Structure 1
């Protein structure tokens, strides 16, 4: 009877909604809605030749090179912002009031934060601190055009250090904060840094490995926060300084007399070490001009950037080009940045004490960037809450979602439903987000559509690489499609080059396909001290630099790019079929039972296999449903009944995602180890490290193929 009652109520709501639709949206219904017509392109080729470059319509003349015509370098960009927005809030940080132990239902004890409100430094404050820090570093012997390392988590002090180095023409070397000792030693020694900046939490990492880094003379550490670092036990030949002391040193009159050596557009701004998904990290050389071009292109795709009272939430690694360029673009346009971290970002985050507010609830950002893994988690968490609610609330949300989806596809909106139904979903990210950008890996169409509809804001996909300053494409806010990454930005152009082995050609019908090449001022200078790899991936044609991405793309009629494959991810099975590993993984991660997965295919085998990181709640519920006795969720991972059920769900999800039979994995391993950057199996941007994963699970892989 309850189900019948729910059906009747939802049916009545649907009738009322239809009447309201007819009254409120009659003009729209008569004109066919406000959907952007597919005949209106976003980009086009510069000639009729199949290999001709694709450009955004607004850059068919010249490619963009700067956000402001008055600024040629990154230091000038921030100086301009500091003059215009002098007293406006710039960088915000939540004070850690206390750290307390909290006992979980399973008896485990975790440390939780009690956080205060955001406190803000103005643009003038940040500019002054950066000036003093740069001057202080110079007084400690740091020279212009001499590399300096920033090795720290994302926070205000990271950005202040960056701005100081840009002012004084100190090229910044970046390494991910979760890298292992060997990778840190490699990056420090290869870049020959004598000075390094780190946080009070990470300084301990250097104590043991400093003897293997003979060039290091000075360590500057952040001395802000609840816990002060232990600076004892370091080698005597290395001098340690707190950041506040270096700033004080730089503020002295005798040091102020040192005039910074102004950088040029051709000067190195950053040597950004990639996450090393295939081995030791490579240093990508990025000039001031490269970043200026890339940021110009990115900013042009964000509606009304700098015209609204925007707040950006910074929590992704600043050692990643996506976050660095996003934050510097925000600052250049007077947008304030509030800092967070993945462990405190929402009310439900693992470091937030029960009953306390997460960072988004306090900050209420309007702009944020993300990566697919995080968006997939949000998607699953929301549906999990909905499915665990009452039958009526579940039916109501499903009706509202499907109803809005129909309006959304036509370019319309549902203001009433947004206030009554989707307001609670929006509140998960603070309630004020007006645009989200996702990059770093493919975002599933299902997750993108859900975020667009439920969070009531456009979720744009972007495509870019460290080698292109993170700039390449960003989907337009008016583009309501999914599964595509947008048109080329105004700073660059794209070409598709035939890849015969994979049977991709730029003469393919109905859409041209091929390996994606990016050209423009945002294409970086190459790999640090690696001329052979630079020559392999970079080229210069008619004075313009090009980068060969290794990705396979397809340009559709409206000039929007879709990534369809990756050369390195393509494995040929024994029977001759090609399996795109990342394509299969994107599809399978939509399964509620799966948090993450890695598909593996041996070219001597007939089928692919899959390593799965389970969703712990779903796994526990599945164990209860199957009546399996267990003491921990780790034990569940080994149960044959669980493995059988996961394989069954993978088959169902594969068919639902329209994967070919040979693409769907035929064996599965449910892994008890959660893949975090600290494990060395994923990067800081949460991309899979396939080589390391294969090595770690080689025994299990052999068993699945035996």
Structure 2
């Protein structure tokens, strides 16, 4: 094309674009784009108000056929993988300095050990006066001591406590370990909490605020991130409040006296509190079938041969679902 004709081409292209715009020719292009695009979502069971990504069409809402609750999922794993390592933790040895922690080797619990500990933990909760959660209930409708609060960082005891509570049809309520006194008091009072699982370093201040939490009667503490030889003082508790180490609480569990009391799919599994980044933490009731359906997504990515590093807080729904 000669240089002399180039300006004419520019004029014609511009004119063509202008005519396309004013005659709504672009509408046809947009319609064609969407007409040839793949379907992005489809209704669930014909219900247009509930849709799912088209690539998950036909996917199950449980990772294991016949499993309808997190308790059943745990029992399936205990039976299927018995002697295999279930979870491990590095031994905490203290700090090199304020910015660098020192760790030793990794110790593992097998699935069988995990099942035994959680069963005994659940039995001890029953002995402590906790009862099964109602089949269906909002947070405001929970009028009995059916919920265990967990105020601790991610550790094996966190998950054992949750599995133990679920084995007795109880719920758990999560409290981020980074939150302060007010958030803990609010969650305990919201759920009428009778027992709380926490770190040993949190016991003293919980006892200092015990009058603000009249339903709280049992404090169970872990030694997570407590270095060998590190001294943590625990003050005397009021007569109607018990303070027990996690290991002693598990050892006291009598599974024969308190056999499993399984939850139902619609039973509240966890009252998941927000981290409080936008104000007062808010509790959301999440059922067993809610969490179980999401674990199906994880099962598409992780299988029994993978090792999963637990990085997020277990108080976060993604970490809970993944584990």
- Return structure 1 stretches of 4+ with deviation > 4 angstroms: 39-42, 51-54
Alignment-derived partner of residue 176 in structure 1: 176
For the residue of structure 1 that corresponds to 2:209, the secondary structure is helix
* The one of 68, 73, 76 aligned to 1:72: 68
Report 1 or 2 for greater relative contact order, CA contacts < 8 Å, sequence distance ≥ 6.
Answer: 2
Alignment-derived partner of residue 237 in structure 1: 240
Alignment-derived partner of residue 165 in structure 2: 165
Report the RMSD for the aligned CA atoms in angstroms: 2.4
For the residue of structure 1 that corresponds to 2:117, the secondary structure is helix
Deviation string 1:581-603 (CA, Å, 9 cap, x unpaired) is: xxxxxxxxxxxxxxxxxxxxxxx
Tell me: CA distance 1:42–1:198, structure 2 relative to 1, closer, same or farther (3 Å).
Answer: farther
* The one of 103, 106, 118 aligned to 1:130: 118
Deviation string 1:250-271 (CA, Å, 9 cap, x unpaired) is: 1x5xx52322211110111101
Tell me: CA distance 1:123–1:205, structure 2 relative to 1, closer, same or farther (3 Å).
Answer: same
State how many pairs are aligned. 270
Tell me: CA distance 1:124–1:113, structure 2 relative to 1, closer, same or farther (3 Å).
Answer: same
Tell me: CA distance 1:98–1:319, structure 2 relative to 1, closer, same or farther (3 Å).
Answer: closer
Deviation string 1:58-81 (CA, Å, 9 cap, x unpaired) is: 544x56321111211101101111
For the 8 Å contact 1:200–1:228, the answer to whether it is kept is no
For the residue of structure 1 that corresponds to 2:176, the secondary structure is coil
The CA distance in 2 between the partners of 1:245 and 1:125, in whole Å, is 16
The CA distance in 2 between the partners of 1:64 and 1:116, in whole Å, is 41
* The one of 88, 91, 113 aligned to 1:95: 91
For the residue of structure 2 that corresponds to 1:205, the secondary structure is helix
Tell me: CA distance 1:248–1:57, structure 2 relative to 1, closer, same or farther (3 Å).
Answer: same
Tell me: CA distance 1:147–1:53, structure 2 relative to 1, closer, same or farther (3 Å).
Answer: closer
The CA distance in 1 between the partners of 2:236 and 2:252, in whole Å, is 24
The CA distance in 2 between the partners of 1:54 and 1:259, in whole Å, is 40
Alignment-derived partner of residue 247 in structure 1: 250
Deviation string 1:332-360 (CA, Å, 9 cap, x unpaired) is: xxxxxxxxxxxxxxxxxxxxxxxxxxxxx
Tell me: CA distance 1:41–1:313, structure 2 relative to 1, closer, same or farther (3 Å).
Answer: farther
The CA distance in 1 between the partners of 2:173 and 2:49, in whole Å, is 36
* The one of 63, 67, 82 aligned to 1:86: 82
Structure 1 residue 299 displacement after superposition:
2.7
For the residue of structure 1 that corresponds to 2:252, the secondary structure is helix
For the 8 Å contact 1:43–1:54, the answer to whether it is kept is no
Deviation string 1:557-610 (CA, Å, 9 cap, x unpaired) is: xxxxxxxxxxxxxxxxxxxxxxxxxxxxxxxxxxxxxxxxxxxxxxxxxxxxxx
The CA distance in 2 between the partners of 1:294 and 1:136, in whole Å, is 29
For the residue of structure 2 that corresponds to 1:115, the secondary structure is strand
For the 8 Å contact 1:188–1:213, the answer to whether it is kept is yes
What does residue range 7-26 of structure 1 map to in structure 2 within 5 Å?
Answer: none
User: How high is the TM-score relative to the length of structure 2?
Assistant: 0.77
Question: In the alignment, is residue 144 of structure 1 matched against residue 141 of structure 2?
Answer: no
Tell me: CA distance 1:53–1:118, structure 2 relative to 1, closer, same or farther (3 Å).
Answer: same
Alignment-derived partner of residue 311 in structure 1: 307
The CA distance in 1 between the partners of 2:52 and 2:188, in whole Å, is 39
User: How high is the TM-score relative to the length of structure 1?
Assistant: 0.36
Tell me: CA distance 1:186–1:117, structure 2 relative to 1, closer, same or farther (3 Å).
Answer: same
Question: In the alignment, is residue 56 of structure 1 matched against residue 59 of structure 2?
Answer: no
Structure 1 residue 234 displacement after superposition:
3.4
Tell me: CA distance 1:44–1:289, structure 2 relative to 1, closer, same or farther (3 Å).
Answer: closer
For the 8 Å contact 1:203–1:229, the answer to whether it is kept is no
Structure 1 residue 170 displacement after superposition:
1.4
The CA distance in 2 between the partners of 1:131 and 1:70, in whole Å, is 21
What does residue range 279-678 of structure 1 map to in structure 2 within 5 Å?
Answer: 279-300=279-300, 302=301, 305-306=302-303, 309-327=305-323
For the residue of structure 1 that corresponds to 2:262, the secondary structure is coil
Structure 1 residue 188 displacement after superposition:
0.9
The CA distance in 2 between the partners of 1:221 and 1:296, in whole Å, is 32
The CA distance in 2 between the partners of 1:287 and 1:54, in whole Å, is 19
The CA distance in 1 between the partners of 2:92 and 2:49, in whole Å, is 55
Question: In the alignment, is residue 271 of structure 1 matched against residue 268 of structure 2?
Answer: no
| Residue ranges of structure 1 left out of the alignment (5+ in a row) | 1-38, 103-109, 328-706
Structure 1 residue 40 displacement after superposition:
8.6
Tell me: CA distance 1:180–1:58, structure 2 relative to 1, closer, same or farther (3 Å).
Answer: same
The CA distance in 1 between the partners of 2:50 and 2:213, in whole Å, is 45
Alignment-derived partner of residue 260 in structure 1: 260
For the residue of structure 2 that corresponds to 1:116, the secondary structure is strand
Tell me: CA distance 1:312–1:59, structure 2 relative to 1, closer, same or farther (3 Å).
Answer: closer
Alignment-derived partner of residue 694 in structure 1: none
Structure 1 residue 207 displacement after superposition:
2.7
